[in-house]
Structure 1
Amino acid sequence: MVREQEEMQLLGFFGIIKESTKIIFTWRKIFSQITLALVLPLSFIILAYSQISDFLVEKIQHDQHALNHVKANNPKYNQLANLVTSDIIELCLSTVVYYVLVLIFSVLSTSTVVYTIACVYTSRSISFGRVMSVIPKVWKRLMITYLWSFLAVFIYIVSIIVTILICYLLFDLSHSPAIGVTLGFVLLILFLFGFVYISVILDLAGVISVLEDICGVQAMFKSKNLIKGKTGISIAINLLLAIGSMATHTMFRISMANGYGSGFLRSGVAVLCFLFLLQLSLFGLVAQSVIYFVCKSYHHENINKLALLLAEYVPLQADDVKLEKVDV
């Protein structure tokens, strides 16, 4: 499957979805291997943590409620206080382990899927061993980009929280609840839009870190410039994936964490949620890679340099890259 640049740059929302789906089905063997080896553990970790964290939070709330009804300075109070502390420590440790595992498997999954798409668009033979061989070459760049991404999201969330608190205090002092509610709603909409936009930039920065010799902040700025002209389409695809992911997590929590329905029904729903998240995660990685090539084609950037970079991983010739620069 090799597309000319004129054809790639014209792909829109449905075109990218169709292209991503076609790639997955055409090379189903290699994507099945990647899914079983890397995407499956990642999806399992995400769903398992949601149940573990819910259990620990409920346990903390239960122990804290019992602690509030016991007088201080007696053996039972001290025992409950120790339980609450232990529960909080368990939650913190499980959260740290979760993010470390997610980071590791995200790096592995992104590296292999992005490189596979690059091989598809450069008409190279693809094997699981060859795809896995790219990981030692790119994992450091991708890890740095992901760490910067976590920091960027953290700073963004903190800044939004501080802004909302300041606005709340100002309007609380002015005794204007209607204005405060309106402003809060507007800030929420802006926050959600900004978060999706940042997510699009960070996702593309990860692809750039695999295919180009840049990472971190530099990859983010490159992503911000590259996404211009295809921002709306990229945001729409990101929103589609986010809605699908949130719906899956919600259904999983309802069926498993809250214990609704029979055991057989809850287990069946949990399996369906897991399988759907598995496919959604793979599709998201493929779509991000396709968006990269669409944006490169849209800006008429020469992708021959990509072949020279890939030559460090497996032998590729510049002539193999069909997406040539177009003079406009």
Structure 2
Amino acid sequence: MEREQEELQSLGLFGIYREACMIIFKWRRIFSQITLSLVLPLSVIFLAHIESNVLLSRIFNMEFVIHSTRADNPIHKRFYHRVSSEWAYFWLFKFVYFTFLLIFSLLSTAAVVYTIACVYTAREATFKKVMRVVPKVWKRLMVTFLWTFLVFLVYNLVAVLIFFIWAVTDGDNTVSVVFFFIILICYAVGFVYLTVLWQLASVVSVLEDKYGFKAMLKSKELIKGKMWVAIVFFFKLNFSLYATQYVFQYFVVSAWPLRFEYRIGVGLLCFLLLLMLILFGLVIQTIIYFVCKSYHQESIDKSALSEHLEVLLGEYERLKPQDIQLKESEWHTSKIRATFASSGSQLAFSVKKAITKNST
């Protein structure tokens, strides 16, 4: 991110990729530390989601056996008593999975965004400083996530209502099928758009004083003009992530007839690729933020950004308006006191001079 603002606004998708690679390579030490401490657990959690797929498949098999056998069958009885506990384990696993996924994704986002901002402002970025900032920024990111979750919830409820109305009113004909696919495409476009807004709003929450719904509105303004760049990046990144997960599940987890050492090798390759993809994605979404600001001719004030980073770090406390008024009142008070003191000393000197003159 060592480019000037004029150069940033002209960066396309491949230019952003090249910029991300240059930053990661040049600052590989700090990014390696962030990867080992935050991105690595996030990758493990991401791959752990395969366990839920395996568990769900086992539950469906049990349900099939239960419905296809008689009630007095011993297999039916055994599976009937097991399926409820399997469902409980499944939902518990899902809850734990999404909780840790959210925590480490927000922590990783905070660490990478802060580091990129330090690189851009030529500030010293050490792992200790980054980890001091992350807990403070994490709260802002959580507020933004909760607002995003609420928006997604409303969006999905409206989508379900529309699909329900379609299912009730439309008949079984060609027009109905076409209308269904139109609704489905519109839903997918809206879902991708909201996801892109959330990613950019996360960066806004770290680098600006806006978070929550205000950060989403800010990201909505920033993304204009660079929407296709963000969408293409979103599809390429998510396709790569899920392709890696699929290869890991198919060749490592599933009963694929591969030798054990080959499965270990494929698993390590998938894991390393996942590490690089997650780190690469976090760096790129931060660069896209700066590109969008440059594209809209918004001034990227390095001194103001550096001051904001100092506030996050706790090295600098920004003065509030009431603090400024207090400082001004204190200055006026001290000035009045100095004036009175000066006048008093002059008066005392005059009196002393008059007394001396009269005595002589």
TM-score (norm 1): 0.89
- In structure 1, distance between residues paired with 2:245 and 2:152: 21
What is the aligned partner in structure 2 of residue 228 from structure 1? 224
- In structure 1, distance between residues paired with 2:187 and 2:155: 9
Aligned residues: 314
1:49-79: CA deviation from partner (whole Å, max 9, x where unpaired): 22x1122112212221222244448886554
Deviation at 1:179, TM superposition (A): 1.7
- In structure 2, distance between residues paired with 1:65 and 1:213: 54
Contiguous gaps of at least 5 residues in structure 1: 317-328
Check the 8 A contact 2:113/2:206 in 1, yes or no.
yes
Deviation at 1:212, TM superposition (A): 1.5
Alignment of 1:201-240 (within 5 A): 201-240=197-236
What is the aligned partner in structure 2 of residue 90 from structure 1? 89
- In structure 2, distance between residues paired with 1:217 and 1:156: 15
1:261-291: CA deviation from partner (whole Å, max 9, x where unpaired): 3133333222222111111100110001001
What is the aligned partner in structure 1 of residue 119 from structure 2? 120
What is the aligned partner in structure 2 of residue 309 from structure 1? 308
Matched, 1:31 2:27: no
Q: Secondary structure at the match of 1:313?
A: helix
1:228/1:91 Cα in 2 relative to 1: closer, same or farther (>3 Å)? same
- In structure 1, distance between residues paired with 2:265 and 2:244: 13
| Aligned residues with identical type, % of pairs | 46
Amino acid at match of 1:299: H
1:83/1:111 Cα in 2 relative to 1: closer, same or farther (>3 Å)? same
Check the 8 A contact 2:137/2:312 in 1, yes or no.
no
Indicate the larger mover: 84-93 or 180-189. 180-189
- In structure 1, distance between residues paired with 2:170 and 2:202: 41
Check the 8 A contact 2:141/2:205 in 1, yes or no.
yes
In terms of Rg, which structure is larger? Answer: 2
Matched, 1:188 2:184: yes
TM-score (norm 2): 0.81
- In structure 1, distance between residues paired with 2:239 and 2:75: 45
Amino acid at match of 2:297: H
- In structure 2, distance between residues paired with 1:257 and 1:76: 27
What is the aligned partner in structure 2 of residue 145 from structure 1? 144
- In structure 2, distance between residues paired with 1:169 and 1:248: 40
Q: Secondary structure at the match of 1:312?
A: helix
Check the 8 A contact 1:168/1:180 in 2, yes or no.
no
Check the 8 A contact 2:116/2:286 in 1, yes or no.
yes
Amino acid at match of 2:5: Q
Matched, 1:42 2:38: no
Q: Secondary structure at the match of 1:243?
A: helix
Contiguous gaps of at least 5 residues in structure 2: 317-360
What is the aligned partner in structure 1 of residue 277 from structure 2? 280
* Structure with larger RCO (C-alpha < 8 A, sep 6+): 1
TM-align CA RMSD:
2.2
Deviation at 1:113, TM superposition (A): 0.2
Deviation at 1:30, TM superposition (A): 0.7
Q: Secondary structure at the match of 1:311?
A: helix
Amino acid at match of 1:168: A
- In structure 1, distance between residues paired with 2:34 and 2:91: 30
